[in-house]
Structure 1
């Protein structure tokens, strides 16, 4: 895709082009943006992402859910936005014919570089408008801190964790902060 950010397109056109593209792009209000991680994520980012998805995979499967790492798109706000979360868990019926998910109960972004601001603002706004997410986690990669946005009585509440267990209602369990960072961050 040459200069994709400068041409407005439909979601259907984006999906068709994305299937053939050598690199991943996100779709926001009709415009296509290359992912910030095109040059490659840091070693710490990758290790944290793998650690989290490996902790969630068995729990997800046991409850009839699916855990994904950053290659699966999440459709947000109708057909207006498509994102590639670092990790997500989906518990709705599996639509194997689709190359994206629409109902994620848990979304995780590992914060890094210039993408961190978008994860904290634009993606936060898009993800918290969706009806299905119960938890949105922002994971620091250079310090032991996870920001957990949890839906409680229809409102989103932020709690910061440096230790302890983060409740994950859709998996009926919690995520141990110590295990997430063990051996990676002091």
Structure 2
């Protein structure tokens, strides 16, 4: 009897960085282990739903104007972020939306200093988005906010840096969230336009 293939495998950081540009699908790296994201590869996780994709595009499109006015950039799904785990091991993730005000070149593939990261939950990544990525993202000195977005109900989990440390709140229904790094607001109507009324 054969067993299903593993969903992750061991790899050094150097090997990951060398092979990631050549991979037919995106892979995330967590402390010596690599696992695939949505894609066509043998080990890739199931693709994201249409709601997931529409929400990511809604958010990126909404933030684009404010980001440009602030001299910042918005990336949807293709910009890698790296940080360290609590044990000091390196991790590399591909957030659904990255906002950064750091200098970037057309060849940049990694944001070293994002100010806002957003993940839209999916069955294959939801657990990691709500757990491992919280500690990884909040360890970034530049990060001001991490948003976790539900694709099935009008709900945002907001994890925001304050003078007293990280504070967690929620937004539902018709509410909005202030985005300090962009000097703007993101409403749930903008997030869920064409997806959930």
Q: Tell me, yes or no, whether TM beats 0.5.
A: yes
Q: How many residues align?
A: 184
Question: Are 1:55 and 2:65 an aligned pair?
Answer: no
C-alpha contact 2:58 2:193 (8 A) present in aligned 1: no
CA distance in 2, matches of 1:159, 1:40: 29
Q: Which structure features the higher share of helix residues? A: 1
Relative to the length of structure 2, the TM-score reads: 0.86
1:34 maps to what in 2?
36
* Unpaired runs of at least 5, structure 1: none
C-alpha contact 2:25 2:38 (8 A) present in aligned 1: no
CA distance in 1, matches of 2:152, 2:111: 30
Question: Are 1:73 and 2:75 an aligned pair?
Answer: no
C-alpha contact 2:27 2:35 (8 A) present in aligned 1: yes
C-alpha contact 1:36 1:115 (8 A) present in aligned 2: no
CA distance in 2, matches of 1:150, 1:88: 15
Q: Relative to structure 1, is the Cα distance of residues 30 and 154 closer, same or farther in structure 2, using a 3 angstrom cutoff?
A: farther
Question: Are 1:172 and 2:183 an aligned pair?
Answer: yes
C-alpha contact 1:165 1:176 (8 A) present in aligned 2: yes
**How many angstroms does 1:36 deviate by?**
5.4
* Unpaired runs of at least 5, structure 2: 40-44
CA displacement 1:157-182 (0-9 Å, x = unmatched) = 11111122201000011101122113
C-alpha contact 1:4 1:31 (8 A) present in aligned 2: no
Relative to the length of structure 1, the TM-score reads: 0.91
2:128 maps to what in 1?
118
